[in-house]
Amino acid sequence: MYYHVNGDLVPAAEAAISVADRGFKYGDAAFETLRAYGGTPLAWDAHHERLVRTAETLGFADAVPEDLRKRVGRTLAENDLEDAYVRVSVTRGVQPGKLTPDPDVDPGVVVLVKELPRGGQEGTRVWDEPATVQTVRTRKAASDAIPADAKTHNYLNGLLGRIELRRSAGGGTPADECLLRDHADHVVEGATSNLFFVSDDGLRTPSADLDLLPGITRDIVLELANEEDFPVETGRYGVDAVRNADEAFLTNSTWEIRPIATIDGIDVGGGPMTTLLQRLFDDYVERTHY
Amino acid sequence: MYYHVNGDLVPAAEAAISVADRGFKYGDAAFETLRAYGGTPLAWDAHHERLVRTAETLGFADAVPEDLRKRVGRTLAENDLEDAYVRVSVTRGVQPGKLTPDPDVDPGVVVLVKELPRGGQEGTRVWDEPATVQTVRTRKAASDAIPADAKTHNYLNGLLGRIELRRSAGGGTPADECLLRDHADHVVEGATSNLFFVSDDGLRTPSADLDLLPGITRDIVLELANEEDFPVETGRYGVDAVRNADEAFLTNSTWEIRPIATIDGIDVGGGPMTTLLQRLFDDYVERTHY
């Protein structure tokens, strides 16, 4: 396997960045994870836009290289990958050793890829089973401390939610995803996924006004639902609304649309709306990539 | 210059970690910054203890190598450094590409050093001038989202405070340190420093019950003040208490004790208590290291 690091394709085992890179020292880096289907990244423009927006929040939007998509394409080609997981990171690079950043940025740019057989019409999902979900004590960081809409290498908040799942499972099987709430007890998102549920025949998802990262897959699902004239509501919900839902599912680039089996041990499950959205999503991928 | 990376001394220019290391991908790493005086790290045991505690929060305390202090010593010796800045990081290492960590940890271990002439009785301070300090809109993340007493590579919260200083300065000179408040408007700490001030002849500092990282230098200062029977109070203070203080200063390992010139443009300055504590600190370093 070859990765793309700072302009060069290098064997994965040798792909490394300086220990003085701020992406390593402080998590001072923007990133995106996405999927390539049939050799083409899904929703590249949306991912690229969000990456630039994250870099803007960090103050180095200008350092995002213009040929980023080419680097992704070259990495996929070098590895003969058509269907793949892709992770793109842009760091603030190596700077003198103080926390206050220098405006002059020579970024670190990393593209990681991994084979990921396609889901959808002709393939199999990444996940074996619908997700078990558990609410955790870890709360979503408020955006005035850590901006929720910036996707950075500071991933401790979600990571602690996942660690909590393992700890609370004792020796048993931890839940697949944690459900994070904000300090006002609204459900916001999972550690790596957005939440949807179906109640009163309407599709619902926490509003992007809350402290969450509005996923690209979330956007696609909302768009597909709108195209079908499904009733859609974005709002503020407590965990009870989700536990009592008729259906619920999670979205992210790798899972696509993954039904929720249980929340805090309470059966929820997928259903007709979830299945239909999965088919619409698969059609969308098929139509745009194969 | 040589750094110590995963068991080996390597030239700084080649010192690198895998792009798949979780310390890079998620900031999933514990670290400490400290100073060596006369070849010996100051308060090694306290730094080591806090590093292990941070790793424990992250769930990989057992992975902190037992010979960490030796690695620091070897790195200092290889570079002929007696008086130095030292940064020690322990990461969760390379693991399969999902966020939920594997309990089996082969850590990444990095020691960075840099020459840092001694301060104190015989030397000069790292800083040229007392610090200008400014309160920022960025709030300290609540500990139920990001534990404040864990020192990790997730340093975005403080970094955003510093970036805010630069942005609010326009083209002018940004303040040296930002003062972060929690969501209840208590002052907690700077991006890389703890805050002390003097009011009514007493030394005051935000309580460690608040969401802050109790620094090792903070602990030493509190101990020195107690030894001298100075009245010391740890509590919850608003920014006005600090602005109206008779004296104020910041502490961290590299700055040691740095007087605050101004807070939000209001003169505060050092004074007799600050100067006395600086002398006591310098005596302490002299007594224990030279």
Q: pTM of the entire structure?
A: 0.97
Contacts of A147 in chain B (CB under 8 A): 160
Task: List the single best residue of B3, B152, B156, B250 to mutate versus A (max A Cβ within 10 A).
Answer: B156
Strand partners, A11: A2
Tokens of A40: 């083409």
Instruction: Flag whether pLDDT at A119 surpasses 80.
Output: no
Least trusted range by pLDDT, from A33-37, A84-88, B80-84, B125-129 = B125-129
- A12 and chain B: CB distance < 8 Å anywhere? yes
- Pairwise CA distance, residues A250 & B146, whole Å: 24
Mutate which: B75, B105, B128, B159, vs A, most A CBs within 10 A: B159
Read off the pLDDT band of A1 (50, 70, 90): very high
Mean pLDDT score across all residues of chain A: 96
Name, in order, each residue with C-beta under 8 angstroms of A277's C-beta and a sequence gap of 6 or more.
Answer: A203, A221, A224, A225, A249, A257
Examine the pLDDT at A123 and tell me if it is beyond 80: no
Find out whether A273 and A247 touch, Cβ atoms under 8 Å: yes
Residue pair A178/A135 in contact by the 8 Å Cβ criterion: yes
Q: What is the ipTM of this complex?
A: 0.97
| A206 residue type, one letter | P
Separation between Cα atoms, residue B174 and residue B169, nearest integer Å: 5
Task: Please check whether residue B83 is in contact with residue B249, taking contact to mean a CB–CB distance below 8 angstroms.
Answer: no
In the Cβ-directed half-sphere of A34, how many Cα atoms lie within 13 Å?
27
When pLDDT is averaged across residues B85-90 and rounded to a whole number, the result is: 98
Q: Which of A137, A156, A166 sits opposite B27 (nearest CB)?
A: A156
pLDDT at B26: 98
Using the Cβ of A144 and the Cβ atoms of chain B, whether some distance falls under 8 Å is answered with: yes
Indicate the residue of B137, B159, B183 with minimum beta-carbon distance to A26: B159
B30 close to B150: Cβ distance less than 8 angstroms: yes
CA A131 to chain centre: 16
Query: Could you say which residues from 156 to 175 on chain A have a Cβ atom under 8 Å away from some Cβ of chain B?
Result: 156-160, 162-163, 165-167, 174
A192 in Cβ contact with A159 (< 8 Å): no
Distance from C-alpha of A64 to C-alpha of A50, rounded to nearest angstrom = 11
**A268/A277 Cα distance (integer angstroms):** 17
- Whether B193 has a pLDDT exceeding 90, the answer reads yes
- Inter-chain contact B99–A138, Cβ cutoff 8 Å? no
d(CA A256, CA A164): 24
Contact status of B127 with chain A (Cβ, < 8 Å): no
Counting Cβ atoms within 10 Å, is residue A170 exposed (0-12), middle (13-18) or buried (19+)? exposed
A107 close to A153: Cβ distance less than 8 angstroms: no
Give yes or no for A113 touching B (CB within 8 A).
Answer: no
How much of chain A exceeds pLDDT 70, in percent? 99
* pLDDT per position as a tens digit, B249-282: 999 999 999 999 999 999 999 999 999 999 999 9
Q: What is the pLDDT of residue A10?
A: 98
Buried b (16+ CB within 10 A) or exposed e, A108-140: bbbbbbbebebbbeeeebbeeebbbbbbbebbb
Interface of B with A in 242-261 (CB under 8 A): none
Tokens of B249: 């200063």
Inter-residue contact B88 to B32 (CB < 8 Å): yes
Categorize the per-residue pLDDT at B218 as very low, low, confident or very high, splitting at 50, 70 and 90. Answer: very high
Residue A228: both structure tokens together: 């079908």
Give B201's pLDDT tier (boundaries 50, 70, 90): confident
Rg (CA), chain B: 19
* Closest listed residue to residue B175, CA positions, set B268, B274, B85: B268
Contact between chains at B28 and A137 (C-beta distance less than 8 A) = no
- Cβ–Cβ contact B25 with A under 8 A: yes
Contact B142, B211 (CB under 8 A): yes
Burial class (CB in 10 A: 0-12, 13-18, 19+), B120: buried
Q: Which pLDDT tens digit goes with each residue over A4-50?
A: 999 999 999 999 999 999 999 999 999 999 999 999 999 999 999 99
Chain A: closest CA distance from residue B254 (Å): 11
Contact B158 A99 (CB under 8 A): yes
